[in-house]
Amino acid sequence: MSEGGDNIDTSSDAIRFVLDGELYELDNIDPTRTVLQFLREDLGRTGTKEGCAEGDCGACTVVLAELNKDGSDLTVRAINSCIQFLPTLDGKELITVESLGRDGNLHPVQQAMVDHHGSQCGFCTPGFVMSLFALYKSNAKPSRREIDDALAGNLCRCTGYRPIIAAAEAMYDAEPDTAWLRQPATSANAKNKANKFKSPTDRIDALKDLQRDSCLALTGSGRTFFAPTTSDELAGLLAIHPNATLLAGGTDIGIWVTKQHRELDTIIYTGRIKELNQVQVSVSQIEIGAAVSLTDAMEHILDAYPDLDELFKRFASPPIRNAGTLGGNIANGSPIGDSMPVLMVAGTTLVLRRGRSRREVPLENFYIGYQVKDLRPAEFIESIRMPLLGDDVILRSHKLSKRFDQDISAVCSAYCLELDGEQVTMFRMACGGMAATIRRAENCEAAVVGKSWNNDTIDAACKALARDFEPISDMRASAGYRLRVAQNLLRRFYLESRGDADVSVYSYGR
């Protein structure tokens, strides 16, 4: 492909995906049509509910199965169908609440919900069932905490969590669902009507047949959707369409459509680009492709920095983390994004590409102003390089919000500390929610570096922090509260670093 992208075939294709063992091929569809709209309005599968249309309540939860990295097995994950655009299903299997059960019998997850009275008004129940189904297929013996975390994206307005958790614990007692799913009568929308699955291997083979080695181009309702397969193709498409909307997980862009009713004329989807979906770990850094999901990116980061577990457990919800990407979170540039403070203090850099040219930019220099980034026309984030700082460096992050699970931060702070005995040789701190952009606390840092790591130094650092930020008051917190919180979180980090107290959130229970 040339840099200008003139070798890309832009004739309209059809998206292809599997639902209940049948191959669906759809063309001439609106690229911004959501999976939820397709299920309820086109197929009449009304088990999947719309509650919030912004990925918060979980009533719309469905499951996607797709090939893992080497194509040897399937990765099964829950996502929010209300903000997932239909063309992103290409090459995957879609599983809904109607897909469960077999030969007139309920799936073990559904049966456990019945047996333990896990449904009250019932509106949220399909979403809970699908989140539990994803857990059932990916974790053979989850702990109570893992069950709680798996359900963090589902809200029950009837306060029925206790019986739902009891169902989650009991769903493994039944005979395993080796056949996976039921095989319903073929629908009028499906192609390849004889394609029924008899084993998990059949599912893998079916998805292998759907994989593309060239760019998908789809047109419908006056809009165009591209899904390139290489970074070169993406660079070429952006050269032709510099004003196109780059779509990764859609956890933010989906809301542009469902809530803000924006018109997106040209969309370029990064989810199928090989280079942008790779993670490479060396002795000095973790390099994460910009289209790697938050779930997968966090797994590698936590291997190196297990103390970030609390932050990442509280980062949105499993369906959001399964769809959203680390590159998208950074590119969005929200001043309350939870990944950026800790990445910033770790010294993370971004590899930016335009055409055939690449440049590396420190994350701390990437944000110029509110929602303004150091991105040139037709330039995109190709990868994120997070240094591996060694065992002597302490890297932590704290988040404060009104709820523990799936809530937007009032303040999110991060710290990077290295000591030589009691003397601070390196200290970096960054805050989100305290300014128009996420940025370093330079006065606070200067008050700490070279000093003894003690209470007097922390007192001075807290005073200096007041010169670094002038937070605003809004619906989440007042300016004074935010500053006091940032100072107290710094004190908490000091206590944690000395081992003087167990002040983790999990020490207090849920």
Pairing mode of beta strands 367-369, 357-362: unpaired
As given in the structure block, the two tokens for residue 335 are: 């001043």
User: Which residue ranges form the domains of the chain, and what is each CATH number?
Assistant: 15-98+182-269 (3.10.20.30), 101-170 (1.10.150.120), 275-387 (3.30.465.10), 393-508 (3.30.390.50)
For 191, list phi and psi in degrees, rounded to 5: -105, 170
User: With 60 as the cut, is the pLDDT of residue 70 above it?
Assistant: yes
As given in the structure block, the two tokens for residue 27 are: 């063309």
CA distances from 287 to 26, 262, 277, 292 (A): 36, 33, 11, 10
- When pLDDT is cut at 50, 70 and 90, the band that residue 501 belongs to is low
DSSP 27-53: -S--TT-BHHHIIIIIS--TTS--SSS
Helix or strand holding residue 421 (H, E): none
Q: Is 327 within 8 Å of 358 (Cβ atoms)?
A: no
Rounded to an integer, the average pLDDT of 428-433 is 97
User: With 90 as the cut, is the pLDDT of residue 271 above it?
Assistant: yes
Q: List Cβ neighbours of 345 (8 Å cut-off, separation of 6 or more).
A: 395, 414, 415, 416, 428, 429, 430, 440
The angle, 0 to 180 degrees and rounded to 10, between the axes of the packed helices 161-170 and 108-115 is 130
Task: Choose between 186 and 472: higher pLDDT.
Answer: 472
Tell me which of 12-21, 40-49, 299-308, 342-351 is least confident.
Answer: 12-21
pLDDT in tens, 104-162: 889 999 999 999 999 989 999 999 999 999 999 999 899 999 999 999 999 998 988 99
Residue 325: DSSP 8-state: B
Residues 376-398: b if buried by 16+ CB within 10 A, e if exposed: eebbbbbbbbbbebeeebbbbbb
Pairing mode of beta strands 190-191, 223-227: unpaired
Sort 432 into a burial class: Cβ within 10 Å, 0-12 / 13-18 / 19+: buried
CA distances from 158 to 120, 125, 132, 333, 447 (A): 7, 11, 18, 36, 50
Rounded to an integer, the average pLDDT of 345-355 is 98
Please give the Cα distance from 321 to 326 (Å, whole number): 9
For 17, list phi and psi in degrees, rounded to 5: -150, 170
Q: Is 441 within 8 Å of 468 (Cβ atoms)?
A: yes
- The predicted pLDDT at position 506 comes to 39
Rounded to an integer, the average pLDDT of 437-442 is 97
- The predicted pLDDT at position 332 comes to 93
Please give the Cα distance from 90 to 88 (Å, whole number): 5
% of the chain surpassing 70 pLDDT: 91
| Average per-residue pLDDT for the chain | 91
Tell me which of 35-49, 184-198, 359-373, 389-403 is least confident.
Answer: 184-198
Rounded to an integer, the average pLDDT of 177-202 is 56
User: With 60 as the cut, is the pLDDT of residue 189 above it?
Assistant: no
Instruction: For residue 166, give the amino acid letter.
Output: A
User: With 50 as the cut, is the pLDDT of residue 186 above it?
Assistant: no
pTM of the model: 0.91
Please give the Cα distance from 195 to 202 (Å, whole number): 9
